[in-house]
Structure 1
């Protein structure tokens, strides 16, 4: 992560109740949680990961791409309490969900990331924005984003395949079931692939 310098800032404490909560809600044991916490504090001594620092994390994960758009979508989901920063607990819960071997759980979180306006549906505009952000993130060259590979065309094709009720919006079940049954969509729409 970026590593902020903050003088005289009190080091936030990881309470026993937080440890138990994280043990119950992630796949990590006590030692792993403490290690994650120490690493988090090394990079965020005040215990707060803001949007700018979060984008730096994504830049390290995707050094050839432009993570700004996609990391912004992800940040909004990770910041569960909407206080403009990600706490350690929010961070570890999200990391756990994204790294979980259960594709359905990962797709549920991915659905939340793609539901930019938080109305429990993904519309064609949201899907187009996310595909554009994924193209930027994965450094897809501009000349490969034309015609049927344009973000708008890809979004339209996805909707034709997944919008089973014709509502012009994908609910979580349509999105998850459609992706689980289509390896191409799974690899396209899950940020880290499957």
Structure 2
């Protein structure tokens, strides 16, 4: 991965990231320095990622969700995140552009990476999301989404698909964009 062991980002990687993210050269260099300090090997393992992720959800079980997030970020399927995957993921999840975030959300829900989402995959991700919600907050949820199964059923109903049908990325993005409840159901953000 470029100059993974040295202290600077390779020019090739820097140009690639400047073209494909919102980050400036200075920001990329700063992220790289921090990445190198936190991950001297130049890679983040699933266990390291889970540990980092769990800090954002101290009152919850973030392990399953972190595993799915990690899978969606590991674009080359090598079982680790390198600096480029890390920065692209950071860009996609923090850019502010809804379309980018929804593209990432689709990849999160597409558990088997076949380009489609099934109801079973929606259920799997809703179960992982539900584990992020602290028990006291779960008790406050509306009755039609107070279990992972109900949450998945409610989300799936927005797409008007049968039990064994599937959703393509465009359908997913359109369905979530057109419905605030669907957008809320595909995520959980802790109150800080």
**TM bracket, shorter-chain basis:** 0.7 to 0.9
TM-score by length of 2: 0.87
Counterpart of 1:120 (choices 115, 124, 144) is: 115
Counterpart of 1:71 (choices 40, 62, 66) is: 66
Q: Which residue of 2 aligns with 1:87?
A: 82
Distance 1:192 1:104 in 2: 18
Unaligned runs of 5+ in 1: 1-8
Q: How does 1:101-116 map to 2 (within 5 A)?
A: 101-116=96-111
Instruction: Give yes or no for contact 2:133–2:188 (8 Å, CA) kept in 1.
Output: no
Distance 1:27 1:83 in 2: 25
Aligned length: 185
TM-score by length of 1: 0.86
1:24 and 2:10 aligned: no
1:53 and 2:48 aligned: yes
Q: RMSD of aligned C-alpha atoms?
A: 2.4
Distance 1:182 1:36 in 2: 35
* Residue 152 of structure 1: how far off its partner (Å): 1.5
1:137 and 2:132 aligned: yes
Determine helix, strand or coil for the equivalent of 1:156. helix
Q: Which residue of 1 aligns with 2:175?
A: 178
Instruction: Give yes or no for contact 1:131–1:155 (8 Å, CA) kept in 2.
Output: yes
Q: How does 1:33-44 map to 2 (within 5 A)?
A: 33-44=28-39
- Show structure 1 runs of 4+ deviating over 6 A: none
Q: Which residue of 2 aligns with 1:150?
A: 147
Unaligned runs of 5+ in 2: none
